[in-house]
Amino acid sequence: MDLCELTTKLPVKVEVLKLLTGTLWAIVLAATIPSKMIAAEEAFPPTEPGEIEIKTIPAGRLLESSGDGDYFRNSGRLFSLLFRYIQQNGISMTTPVEAQINPGKMYFWVAEDQIGKATSDSADVKVIDAPSRRVVSIGARGSYTLANYKKAKEALLEWIEKEELVIEGELYAVYWNGPFTPWFLKTFEVQAQLNASE
């Protein structure tokens, strides 16, 4: 009896096998992708949900992937490009992941003891040395959607206006959790870089 014949005769068992295979694959991914992206090293301390603060982001090496269009439509592809790069180069993942919204870009931080493994660009990933920067940040909780980003962004811009702060460039998102974290446990930030005069 060949595999095709067996599949025809045992459709229920095959569907169960497919389900179990999919579940096993999800478990493998969950074990591979940290969920604070699972106790990964943090590049800097998070801003707690509901808080707004001014803080200094340290200088560091980042990996950048980019694409056409909106971040939220391309986040899966952007993540895959970066994840493949760190796998191929034996680089441990850190948190958080930074995201420029439009055009969509994603950034992975490289831990200080891993910098020697991230020395050159690939076809899809750029290696960037970012200087230290002071930012104003709002912490939030919830799924990583455009609507939640906009809500946090609006609240942060209101606070910036009230405090009469001067910012540079576009606001961006900072995501702390992996894809298998339940939406109600996910935390994120929206940050704006402060002008050097602030």
Tens digits of residue pLDDT in 114-123:
999 999 999 9
Cβ atoms of 160 and 167 within 8 Å: the answer is yes
Which residues of the chain are modeled with pLDDT < 50? 1-39
pLDDT score for 49: 98
Residues 78 and 169 grouped into a single domain: yes
Neighbour tally for 168: CB within 10 Å = 12
Q: What is the pLDDT of residues 50-83, one digit of tens each?
A: 999 999 999 999 999 999 899 999 999 999 999 9
Domain of residue 66, CATH code: 3.20.80.10
Cβ atoms of 61 and 127 within 8 Å: the answer is yes
pLDDT score for 95: 94
* Rounded distance between C-alpha atoms, residue 4 and residue 2, angstroms: 6
Bridge partners for 60 per DSSP: 130
Domain count, the chain: 2
Phi, psi of 48 (to 5 degrees): -65, 145
The closest of 176, 147, 187 to 39, measured between CA atoms, is: 176
Cβ atoms of 94 and 111 within 8 Å: the answer is yes
pLDDT score for 40: 63
Residue positions counted in the chain: 198
Calculate the alpha carbon distances from 177 to 35, 48, 167 in Å: 5, 13, 27
Residues 26 and 58 grouped into a single domain: no
Helix (H), strand (E) at residue 146:
helix 146-163
The closest of 91, 190, 90, 81 to 125, measured between CA atoms, is: 81
Q: Which domain holds residue 97?
A: 41-194
Residues 21 and 71 grouped into a single domain: no
Residues 126 and 184 grouped into a single domain: yes
Residues 115 and 23 grouped into a single domain: no
pLDDT score for 59: 97
pLDDT score for 196: 83
User: Which three-class secondary structure state does DSSP give residue 49?
Assistant: strand
Q: Which pair of tokens denotes residue 1?
A: 């009896």
- Measured in whole angstroms, how far is the alpha carbon of residue 134 from the centre of its chain? 20
Residues 18 and 116 grouped into a single domain: no
